Amino acid sequence: MEFAVESWDPDYGTGGDAEALDASTDVVEPGVEIPIDEWAPITPTPLSDPPTMWFVDGVRRIDARIWVTDDGLVLPGSCATVAAGAVVCTPGRAEVVGAQVRRAVFTPPADSVGDIVTDLGVYEHHEVSTGSPEDLYLGIHDLMTDLETTIVPEVDADDLIVFDGPLRGRRTARAVGLIKTQHVQYLEDRLQRVVGALDAGQRTPMFLIGSTGFARWSWYVRLPGPRTHGWAGIIRLESAGDGTVEAATLLADTVTAALPRFASEPHKENRAPQNLYPIKGLENELRRRLGDQRLLQRALRAAARPTSDAVS
């Protein structure tokens, strides 16, 4: 039996598995840069002057699950803290900038529900469609995504912005989304084999995902690191699908050439090499800023009790 052990920590799942990908439901055009019959790995020209890189990420945590009584109905809700920030990387230096933290309570629509005021801050009320776990989670995720988008500063024309995760509709200039966990098969099998044939620092030709709404240019890259199986070190990148193929190709080559120096190593990071060092450092800093979950729960319990009970 031929098999390989995934290099990622099992708690994080897998970075990619070509045999377990779900077929894409999007319209995919793989011949936008190179004809399908000519698909092969592409090696970008090395960068003589690496650009300034901005890595943007967010973290989220449920501080407490709550039950809200509204006109005799009991509704589920979640109190959560989200944070987002950026790391700006120039040669020899990396700095966290623009970090912000928000606390919010998520519930289905209810007339009597509002912000929750605690001794440690205010949880702003946000409505979600229903009280299902999926809708409550989506509300938290959307707040984090909005915060990630708003913290991006004005950058120079040659800077690159890397969002950790899909673009999710963001059209910031010179921005790409970095997807480190692969769940969807966008390419037919013969083109998938090109992904497995990539060497470190190479990319696939670009393909276009989506023909209506938010279209994205996309391509796969292999980062340097142990090659234990065909998809080891594979990430997918995407940029807004407007503009010309030539401009998108230039961006793809620049990003592909710039990212390998940020790839993490297995002895330092459980999701190496896909969880890049700037993103890992930013995640650590943002989680520190979330605050102590136990103290926040205690403050929420105090806010939930009548004044006479809270004093006793």
Q: What's the CA gap between 156 and 146, in Å, rounded?
A: 22
What's the confidence (pLDDT) of residue 244? 92
12 pLDDT higher than 60: no
Is the CB of residue 80 less than 8 Å from the CB of residue 106?
yes
Antiparallel, parallel or unpaired: β 93-107 and 73-90: antiparallel
Report whether the peptide linkage leading into residue 109 is cis, meaning its omega lies within 30 degrees of zero: no
- Rg of the Cα trace of the chain? 22
If you average pLDDT over residues 60-85, what whole number do you get?
92
Mean pLDDT for the stretch of residues 157-162: 94
The pTM assigned to this predicted structure is 0.88
pLDDT tens digits for range 108-119: 998 888 999 999
* Residue 243 per-residue DSSP state: S
The pLDDT value given to residue 1: 24
**CA–CA gap between residue 48 and residue 54 (Å, rounded):** 19
Instruction: Look at residue 306 and tell me whether its pLDDT is greater than 80.
Output: no
Q: Write the pLDDT tens digit of every residue in 23-48.
A: 677 889 999 999 999 999 999 999 98
Q: Is the predicted pLDDT of residue 2 greater than 60, yes or no? A: no
Domain boundaries, the chain: 9-52+159-275, 58-154+291-306
Q: What pLDDT band is residue 308 in, cutting at 50, 70 and 90? A: very low
Q: What is the DSSP letter of 168?
A: T
- 304, exposed or middle or buried, with CB in 10 Å at 0-12, 13-18, 19+? middle
| Mean pLDDT for the stretch of residues 90-106 | 94
Interval 144-171 mean pLDDT: 89
Higher per-residue pLDDT: 12 or 289 = 289
Mean pLDDT of 10-31: 67
